[in-house]
Amino acid sequence: MLYSFENVILDTQRRELRRGGAPIAVQPQVFDLLEYLIRNRERVVSKEDLIADIWGGRIVSESALTSRINAARIALGDNGDMQRLIRTVQRKGLRFIGPVVEREDADGASPLTEAAPLKSPPSPPERPSIAVLPFQNMSGDPEQEYFADGMVDEIITGLSRIKWLSVISRNSTFIYKNKPVAIREVADKFGVGYVLEGGVRKSGNRIRISAQLIDAKTDAHLWAEQYDRVLEDVFALQDEITMHAISAIEPSLRKAEIDRVKRQRPNNLSAYDLVLRSLPLVFAMVPKDAEIAIPLLETAVKLQPDYGAAYAFLGWCYHHRFVRGGLREEDRIAAVQHARAAVAYGSDDATALAVAAHAITYLEHDTATALKLFDRALELSNSNIFALSLSSIALAWMGKAEPAIERAERAIRLSPFDSYNFRSHYALAITSFSRGRYQDAVDSAQNAVHYNPHFGFARGVLAAALLRIGRVAEAKAAGRDLLEREPTFTTHAFSAVELDPAVFRPFAEAWRELGWPY
């Protein structure tokens, strides 16, 4: 092993890691970064070198790279101000400048026999990872190569906006262009868990695009879709299909990851896995499930204090404990604090921003900030279901019907089978009721109830709409269902959503006519 007198800790911790010893604070990628810098100490290594050789060509954010470099410095007792061992060369990269000697290990191995990070397959990333293979041109028309390649570029760019997903770069996966390839080979080469492949076929002025998402470990197909379109504006068509594909791929991957973590031992303490374990409980949106999710998420943020999404979901749990569990002020304060932390740590995470904006909307009534956060989330990922659906509800209660409808319908159109889209149907039910379209409100509210029977508030909208079209018995039955699921429900408690009195008042009047508790 190569080492300097300043980094004996690196040697001992790496040995402990290889023996399967106790968990350590320094992550494996930090070890690889340190070893790479030491081995290449004769030159300045660029950001591109690090990404290509350590991360195997995956897309790595600037903040993630900076975090690993800081961690490497800390492991050596260095920092960005002193730069005694790892020096930043402006606009060029990094260089290791500490004293280095070589020695043999106790087993007599030569210094370089252990090196191997550049020759062995990449170690699995800390987040789920995906490789998008070049789409096959199945039409025999060479001009369609450009369209197929552009399609892949757009999908890679879109997937890279999903904060919790690691995406292999185009330059890496395009080594397989026009070559037969086995999924297992791709998975082993890039260390990924999922592979997306597809093809393009043109006939006349029509084009057919097929895509399928594969679990590389089991070879199971998680999602497949085929798009038939008229070929007019090429770039508009690429944008449309990319949005549809990404909005369908994200929930498929999310479900696959949740299923994966359910099969693991429950004492796994990875922050990411803890968040995955919490999600079904978080999305149930009932206080009893929030009680179970909160300690999981609190442990996650202790393990990773800058985990924006974990803070966002933690705030969401406290939000539902407040609204549906007794309006305790300490729950409201905790929800707001965690939502604000999510904004601070998750500024590049569309889901974290959207979930945080949801709490800020109703528990602070800071609608100006909330709308900016929703817009920022959609700038980061214009097909993010959380940003579309949660903002559609907020806009509906604010009386902004047109943008509420546009976002809700876009979410449903992009991902019609995502069960979390019950919120979009709920938003449409609110806007339809507010416009006096009571039958439409009934239909949308029933859809929301169908997708999430535990979401009692949709039953409140359903009951009000049924009452207005004269189906009083059904309205009362919906009310009984709501009160059974939400025993603490009162109109006053629900008034937390009152962002525009003109929108909320007609609902309150309908519930009063039904005799619900005020």
Q: Are residues 514 and 413 in the same domain?
A: yes
Q: What is the CATH number of the domain that holds 156?
A: 3.40.50.10610
Burial 76-115 (b: 16+ CB within 10 A, else e): bebeeeeeebbbeeeeebbbbebebeeeeeeeeeeeeeee
Look up tokens 């002193």; give the residue.
Answer: 82
Tokens of 172: 């890496």
Q: Are residues 508 and 429 in the same domain?
A: yes
In the three-class reduction of DSSP (H, G, I as helix; E, B as strand; rest coil), residue 213 is classed as strand
Taking the model in full, what pTM does it have? 0.64
Most confidently predicted of 78-87, 119-128, 379-388: 379-388
Q: Which domain holds residue 517?
A: 383-518
Where does a domain end: 219, 243, 262? Answer: 262
Least confidently predicted of 97-101, 179-183, 337-341, 411-415:
97-101
Q: How many domains does the chain have?
A: 3
pLDDT at 268: 57
In tens, the pLDDT along 105-123 reads: 444 443 332 333 333 444 4
Any domain includes 121: no
Q: Where are the alpha helices (DSSP H) in 58-119?
A: 62-75
In tens, the pLDDT along 243-284 reads: 878 887 887 887 787 777 766 665 556 888 888 888 888 888
* DSSP state letters, 294-355: HHHHHHHHHH-TT-HHHHHHHHHHHHHHHHHTT--HHHHHHHHHHHHHHHHH-TT-HHHHHH
Any domain includes 151: yes
Contact residues for 181 (Cβ-Cβ < 8 A; gap 6+): 133
Alpha carbon 162 to chain centroid, angstroms: 5
Tokens of 483: 């009160």
pLDDT at 99: 64
Q: Are residues 174 and 78 in the same domain?
A: no
Q: Are residues 53 and 152 in the same domain?
A: no
Any domain includes 350: no
Q: Are residues 79 and 146 in the same domain?
A: no
Measure the CA–CA gap between 149 and 126, rounded to whole angstroms: 28
Q: Are residues 507 and 408 in the same domain?
A: yes
% residues pLDDT > 90 (the chain): 29
Indicate the helix (H) or strand (E) that contains 28: helix 28-39
Phi-psi region of 226 (alpha: psi -120 to 50; beta: other; left: phi over 0): beta
Measure the CA–CA gap between 112 and 173, rounded to whole angstroms: 29
Any domain includes 490: yes
Measure the CA–CA gap between 409 and 412, rounded to whole angstroms: 5
Q: What is the CA radius of gyration of the chain?
A: 26
Which one-letter DSSP state was computed for residue 237?
H
Most confidently predicted of 11-15, 195-199, 210-214, 309-313: 309-313
Any domain includes 358: no
Q: What is the CATH number of the domain that holds 26?
A: 1.10.10.10
